Amino acid sequence: MVKKELFKLQSLYRDDLRVTGYEFGHGNKSACILGGMRGNEVQQVYICSQIVQELKKLESSGAIAKDCSIMVIPSVNSYSLNIESRFWPVDHTDINRMFPGYDLGETTQRIAAGVFEAINDYKYGIQFPSFYLPGDFVPHVRMMDTGFQDVNLASDFGLPYVVVKKPKPYDTTTLNYNWQLWGTHAYSVYTSACNEVQEETARQAVGSVLRFLAKQGIIKYKGHSGYISSVVASNELVTVKTNVAGIYLPKVGYDTQVEKGQVLATILNPNDGEKLEDIIAPVDGVVFFAYHNSMIYSNTVAYRLIGDTHK
């Protein structure tokens, strides 16, 4: 293992921002694995740290293929991580909305440019991002429908679902989208936690990455064979939103089979405890995403369901 400083940004008032990578093997740039880009992505950083531990063992036993190198970058935004701020602490911009970056631009544009320059020529790119709403996902692989995506390769992670998303204009500045445009097979792996460590799903995520690397011939690894993935288009997910704001009491968690008409959650008036709304399942299916904060606004995504056609 070689520890490398991939990018440094000088600071007047704090220690310099350093983006550090851990490189395993030698030769062709085979795979880059990137964790937390936002300051609250603790689970994503943890997953990468566990991948580092596994790759150290594999490297010491000679299980990394000849002429293959793997780069793991646990965290890009240590400034925000230190103060538990999701976005860049000075102007609250999102680094994952700044790619491919601009080295003479705003701070987050320069960070994105420096990171992208270091990682844009890997054959495979794996990112652990997080959702904009607090909640839990069924672990899955997500990829952009850019015309360059390879759904069959995404199934090699062995996770329950592969979600293919038609990019919206704001998606064109994400790492996943730009990786694909520059010739990298790019995949985003989502787990069911963000700002806290959830070991069970972290182990599942680590296993999925090792399984993927093994199937591409980059490492030798014997582990659980995983799931036969179902492919779902993001616009096929059934979104269930709230009509009112209040105290949120979920009745059903993620990865649960539900029936049409079933109560998924209840919203109460914060002051008198009167019921304001029951959140009802509009279809039979599996809970793909479940919101989990104790307060919720109106017109907020509470659940996303996968209809029974994708069971």
Within the chain, residue ranges assigned H as helices are 42-60, 78-83, 107-119, 151-154, 175-181, 199-215
Expressed in angstroms, the distance from the first to the final Cα of the chain is 41
Predicted local distance difference test score (pLDDT) of residue 84: 83
Claim to verify: residue 206 and residue 274 sit in the same structural domain? no
Claim to verify: residue 111 and residue 170 sit in the same structural domain? yes
Claim to verify: residue 270 and residue 207 sit in the same structural domain? no
CATH of the domain at 275: 2.40.50.100
Claim to verify: residue 114 and residue 13 sit in the same structural domain? yes
Claim to verify: residue 201 and residue 289 sit in the same structural domain? no
Q: What is the pLDDT of residues 138-197, one digit of tens each?
A: 999 999 999 888 899 999 999 999 999 999 998 999 999 999 999 999 999 998 888 889
Do 296 and 248 form a contact (C-beta atoms < 8 A)?
A: yes
Neighbour tally for 276: CB within 10 Å: 16
CATH of the domain at 183: 3.40.630.10
Claim to verify: residue 39 and residue 146 sit in the same structural domain? yes
Separation CA 126–CA 203 (nearest Å): 16
**Phi then psi dihedrals of residue 292, to 5 deg:** -140, 10
CA dihedral (77, 80, 85, 86) in degrees, to 10, reads -10
Domain membership of residue 128 as a residue range? 2-233
Claim to verify: residue 86 and residue 160 sit in the same structural domain? yes
The pTM is what?
0.92
Claim to verify: residue 197 and residue 251 sit in the same structural domain? no
Q: What is the number of structural domains in the chain?
A: 2
Q: What is the pLDDT of residues 110-137, one digit of tens each?
A: 999 999 999 999 999 999 999 888 889 9
Claim to verify: residue 88 and residue 136 sit in the same structural domain? yes
Among 194, 217, 233, the domain boundary falls at: 233
Q: Which pair of tokens denotes residue 98?
A: 């700044």
Claim to verify: residue 94 and residue 117 sit in the same structural domain? yes
Claim to verify: residue 142 and residue 101 sit in the same structural domain? yes
Task: Check residue 144 and report its DSSP letter.
Answer: E
Separation CA 187–CA 196 (nearest Å): 22
Claim to verify: residue 185 and residue 241 sit in the same structural domain? no
Which residues are within 8 A (CB) of 57 and not within 5 positions of it... i.e. 6 or more apart? none
